[in-house]
Every structure is written in structure tokens, then in C-alpha cells.
């Protein structure tokens, strides 16, 4: 099997265990939480996305990793992580918190979709060995990030049933 085929299999199957775990353990907890607490839990996960800067760290990734992919992924993750951290810092100020929640989720989804786009256009599977130590990021970490962004948008769009019932 070619390295590109293995990478594509890893990429696709990376979603399976996270969807199973998310459906069984994470989603029920998020749905039971207060809206702010659920978004804070998601923001906490995404606040670690500063780690994406590793894509442009020489010696961690190979010299032939496509630069357009690496730079876009690095700074998209970094921006998302900073926005998530800011949201966590202002969680007690709803007028600032909610726009930051929307911002880190929008920036995060655009980053991940852009990473998939550049990965396809620049043949990232053909350069999978150049990912070096970062290989685990798109395989293990990215699926959970995308799943939680989708959950965050769903929770943002959903009305808080506790407040509706109280009214």
C-alpha cells in the first residue's frame, strides 16, 4: 500500500472513533449542560490550537511539506486558538463571549476546510511523510475539532429548552 493510500485511510477512519466516542460520551454531556458551560468546554479544547504553529517549525516537519498548506494550517489554528482563549477569558461577559464563540468557530471551520482544500490541491497524501511529528494532528486531532465545531454551531442555533420551559 502506498503512503498516500495509508494517509487517506487514516484520514477517513480518524472520524469513526471520534464520532462513536462523541455520540456516546461527549454529546450527551454537552446537551445537558448550560449553554455557556457547553461552549466553554468546546472553547477549552480549541484553545490548544496554538499548537498548530508546529506546521511551520523546521525540524518537526520535513522541508518538502507544501508551504501553502503549512502556513495556512499554522496560522488558522493559531488564530482559532487565540479566539477560543479570549472567549474563555470573557465567559462572564455575554456581550463579548458570544461573538467570540461565533468567531472562533467560524475561523476554525474555515481553517479546517482550507486545510482539506490545500491538502487536496497540493497532494498532501503524497507528502504525508513530510508531516513528521505532526502526522497525528490531521488523523487524530482534526476530526474531533471538526465534530466539536459542528456541535458548537448546533448548540448556538438551538434554543435553550430550560429557558423556554420556564417562560
Is the predicted pLDDT of residue 166 greater than 70, yes or no? no
The stretch 112-138 carries a mean pLDDT of 96
Q: For the whole prediction, is pTM greater than 0.85?
A: yes
- Phi/psi-derived region of residue 132, left when phi > 0, alpha when psi is between -120 and 50, beta in every other case: left
Which pLDDT belongs to residue 7?
95
The stretch 161-165 carries a mean pLDDT of 52
Which pLDDT belongs to residue 162?
55
Confidence of residue 62 (pLDDT cuts 50, 70, 90): very high
**20, 46 contact by CB (below 8 A):** no
Is the predicted pLDDT of residue 139 greater than 90, yes or no? yes
Distance CA 120, CA 114 (A): 10
pLDDT per position as a tens digit, 30-58? 999 999 999 999 999 999 999 999 999 99
**57, 71 contact by CB (below 8 A):** no
**147, 106 contact by CB (below 8 A):** no
- Here the cell at position 74 is 499554522
Summary mean pLDDT of the chain: 95
- Here the cell at position 49 is 490550537
Q: Where are the domains of the chain?
A: 3-160
pLDDT per position as a tens digit, 73-111? 999 999 999 999 999 999 999 999 999 999 999 999 999
Confidence of residue 159 (pLDDT cuts 50, 70, 90): confident
In angstroms, the Cα distances linking 67 to 63, 70, 74, 132 are 9, 5, 10, 14
Is the predicted pLDDT of residue 120 greater than 50, yes or no? yes
Which pLDDT belongs to residue 167?
47
Amino acid at each position: 500500500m502506498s503512503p498516500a493510500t495509508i494517509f487517506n485511510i487514516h484520514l477517513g477512519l480518524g472520524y469513526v472513533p471520534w464520532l462513536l466516542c462523541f455520540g456516546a460520551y461527549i454529546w450527551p454531556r454537552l446537551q445537558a449542560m448550560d449553554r455557556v458551560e457547553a461552549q466553554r468546554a468546546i472553547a477549552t479544547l480549541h484553545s490548544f490550537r496554538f499548537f498548530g504553529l508546529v506546521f511551520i517549525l523546521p525540524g518537526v516537519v520535513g522541508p518538502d511539506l507544501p508551504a501553502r498548506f503549512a502556513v495556512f494550517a499554522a496560522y488558522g489554528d493559531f488564530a482559532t486558538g487565540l479566539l477560543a482563549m479570549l472567549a474563555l477569558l470573557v465567559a462572564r461577559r455575554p456581550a463579548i463571549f458570544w461573538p467570540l464563540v461565533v468567531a472562533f468557530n467560524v475561523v476554525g471551520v474555515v481553517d479546517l476546510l482550507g486545510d482539506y482544500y490545500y491538502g487536496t490541491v497540493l497532494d498532501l497524501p503524497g507528502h504525508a511523510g513530510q508531516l513528521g511529528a505532526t502526522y497525528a494532528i490531521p488523523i487524530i486531532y482534526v476530526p474531533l475539532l471538526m465534530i466539536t465545531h459542528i456541535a458548537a454551531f448546533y448548540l448556538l442555533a438551538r434554543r435553550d429548552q430550560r429557558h423556554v420551559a420556564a417562560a
